[in-house]
């Protein structure tokens, strides 16, 4: 009979054999090696199970932390929304809620006591800056992703200025021999603008403006070089397409309560409107060297006559119960070569290279919500306009201007898609329009 192999023995029998017959060579050592391998494999399997469980716990903890951060952001936006009348997501502590982009919360299944359910993440729209009543040209809140806003608006401005020109010499301090030119210029301007804004992402939007301008000017003066004591009125008007604009905006950071939001933007302004060099000027020969004629344009321009690039940054700082905001910008007018204008009679006056002065702009304001639908804002806008140059030299009579305007505006939200914004501006410096009134109706699609 053949001897049975040691490896075929039952483990218990092999162990007893090792105790009774220790002299059997190799059998006990092999059994101990097999038992050691089994224990190592069992320990390794247990370690792997613990590692998998630990990784699962870490993933669950990370997910819960993300949900907690999302709820905290939603809570901050809800507090700001209630204070500023823009609505927000409802926050509850007794159930799981899906926060929706419309600013409402739809309840789902209640939380179980032993296994809490995962709360849905808040949309990125809730991380946008708080909305305030718009009083400046650059809005502070971007359009949500894949949303379109159509904003028709009308702006009315009134400007009155008195001009006194003294050309002559003084015999004594009270007597002037020469030319005294006294003029009163009253200008009214109405600009109807159709603005479209589209949200590329929740933090980027593009905007286009198409204005239509109607301007009317009355100049009250007396004929120069005559002894007339009667005032004459010189009327001029202009209407047509204005300068079309395009702007790209991007929200730089993600702010929160007591943390500022920063929005960078770049604006391009064309010269599609009729510029000052296209209109006919009331001069017989030359306006600069000859005083014959009024020197005023027979038709008013509807554009500035220069293309412009304007970078800027807008900031908002929420601090309950108000929001502080402002903008810093720099407008660079692109110079033009070989410019000429037409004077009365069909003659052309060559002007050469014209470089309009650049503009540094700064505005500051604060907004406050009155209730869930109405809010008001007050602010100040200041612009410094540099001198205009002709052929590399300062244009005669060109000076640096400071334009300061005090603005007061309010917004009323009719529903989720339509709002009304009204802004009143009062000029604080001599060269600023005395009165401006703007009405906007943003419609969200």
Closest CA relative to residue 313, chosen from 356, 261, 357, 268: 261
Report CA 373 to chain centroid distance, whole Å. Answer: 21
**pLDDT above 90 coverage of the chain, percent:** 38
181 lies in a domain? Answer: yes
DSSP string covering 129-185: PPP----SSS-SSPPPTT-EEEEEEEEEEEEEEEEEEEEEEEEETTEEEEEEEEEEE
* Residue 151 to residue 263: CA distance in whole angstroms: 20
Residue 244 to residues 29, 139, 143, 195, 207, Cα–Cα distance (Å): 94, 18, 20, 10, 11
Q: What is the mean pLDDT of residues 381-395?
A: 91
- Work out the number of other CB atoms within 10 angstroms of the CB of residue 267: 20
337 lies in a domain? Answer: yes
85 lies in a domain? Answer: no
Per the structure block, which two tokens stand in for 310?
């304007």
Residue 336: pLDDT above 70?
A: yes
Write out the residue range of the structural domain in which residue 272 sits: 147-444
Q: What is the mean pLDDT of residues 432-445?
A: 94
Residues with Cβ within 8 Å of residue 51, at least 6 apart in sequence: none
For the chain, the farthest-separated pair of C-alpha atoms sits apart, in whole angstroms, at: 154
The band of 281, judged by pLDDT with boundaries at 50, 70 and 90, is confident
**What pLDDT score was predicted for residue 124?**
45
96 lies in a domain? Answer: no
pLDDT mean across residues, the chain:
78
36 lies in a domain? Answer: no
Closest CA relative to residue 326, chosen from 262, 249, 403: 262
- The domain that contains 236 carries what CATH number? 2.40.128.130
Closest CA relative to residue 291, chosen from 177, 397, 181: 181
220 lies in a domain? Answer: yes
Tell me the per-residue pLDDT of 5-54, one tens digit each, with 9 for 90 and over.
444 445 555 555 555 555 455 555 555 666 677 888 888 888 888 888 99
Q: What is the mean pLDDT of residues 382-409?
A: 91
161 lies in a domain? Answer: yes
Q: What is the mean pLDDT of residues 317-324?
A: 89
Domain count, the chain: 1
**What pLDDT score was predicted for residue 34?**
67
The DSSP letter of residue 128 is S
Instruction: Give the residue carrying structure tokens 């600009």.
Output: 191
199 vs 348, residue with greater confidence: 199
Q: Are 352 and 367 in contact (CB under 8 A)?
A: no
Residue 170: pLDDT above 80?
A: no
Tell me the per-residue pLDDT of 96-143, one tens digit each, with 9 for 90 and over.
333 333 333 333 344 334 444 444 444 444 456 667 788 888 887 889
pTM: 0.68
Residues in the chain: 445
Tell me the per-residue pLDDT of 53-72, one tens digit each, with 9 for 90 and over.
999 999 899 889 888 888 87
325 lies in a domain? Answer: yes
């Amino acid at each position: 009979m053949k001897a049975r192999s040691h490896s075929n023995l039952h483990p218990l029998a092999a162990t007893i054999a090792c105790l009774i017959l220790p002299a059997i060579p190799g059998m006990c050592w092999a059994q101990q090696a097999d038992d050691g391998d089994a224990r190592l494999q069992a320990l390794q399997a247990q370690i792997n199970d613990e590692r998998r469980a630990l990784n699962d716990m870490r993933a669950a903890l990370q997910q819960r932390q993300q949900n907690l951060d999302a709820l905290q952001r939603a809570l901050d936006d809800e507090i700001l929304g209630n204070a500023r009348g823009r609505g927000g997501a409802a926050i509850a502590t007794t159930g799981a809620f899906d926060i929706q982009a419309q600013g409402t919360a739809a309840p789902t299944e209640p939380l179980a006591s032993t296994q809490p359910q995962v709360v849905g993440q808040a949309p990125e729209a809730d991380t946008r800056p708080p909305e305030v009543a718009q009083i400046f040209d650059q809005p502070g809140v971007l359009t949500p992703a894949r949303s379109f806003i159509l904003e028709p608006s009308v702006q009315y401005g009134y400007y009155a200025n008195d001009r006194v020109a003294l050309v002559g010499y003084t015999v004594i301090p009270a007597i002037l021999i020469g030319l005294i030119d006294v003029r009163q210029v009253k200008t009214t301007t109405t600009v109807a603008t159709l603005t479209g804004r589209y949200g590329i992402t929740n933090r980027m939007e593009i905007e286009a403006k198409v204005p239509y301008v109607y301007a009317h000017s009355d100049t009250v003066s007396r004929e120069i070089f005559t002894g007339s004591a009667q005032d004459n009125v010189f009327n001029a008007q202009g209407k047509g397409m204005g300068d079309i604009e395009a702007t790209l905006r991007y929200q730089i950071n993600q702010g929160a309560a007591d943390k500022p939001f920063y929005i960078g933007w770049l604006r391009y302004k064309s010269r599609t409107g009729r510029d000052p060099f296209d209109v006919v000027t009331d001069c017989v020969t030359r306006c600069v060297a000859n005083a014959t004629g009024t020197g005023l344009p027979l038709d008013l321009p509807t554009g500035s006559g220069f293309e412009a690039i304007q970078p800027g940054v807008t900031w908002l700082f929420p601090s309950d119960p108000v929001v502080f905001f402002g903008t810093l910008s720099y407008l660079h007018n692109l110079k033009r070569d070989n410019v000429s204008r037409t004077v009365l009679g069909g003659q052309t006056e060559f002007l050469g290279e014209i470089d309009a002065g650049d503009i540094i702009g700064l505005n500051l304001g604060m907004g406050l919500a009155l209730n869930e639908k109405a809010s008001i804002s007050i602010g100040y806008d200041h612009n410094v306009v540099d001198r205009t140059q002709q052929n590399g030299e300062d244009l005669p009579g060109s000076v640096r201007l400071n334009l300061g305007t005090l603005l007061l505006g309010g917004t009323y939200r009719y529903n989720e898609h339509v709002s009304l914004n009204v802004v009143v501006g009062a000029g604080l410096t001599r060269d600023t329009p005395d009165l401006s009134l703007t009405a906007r109706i943003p419609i969200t699609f």
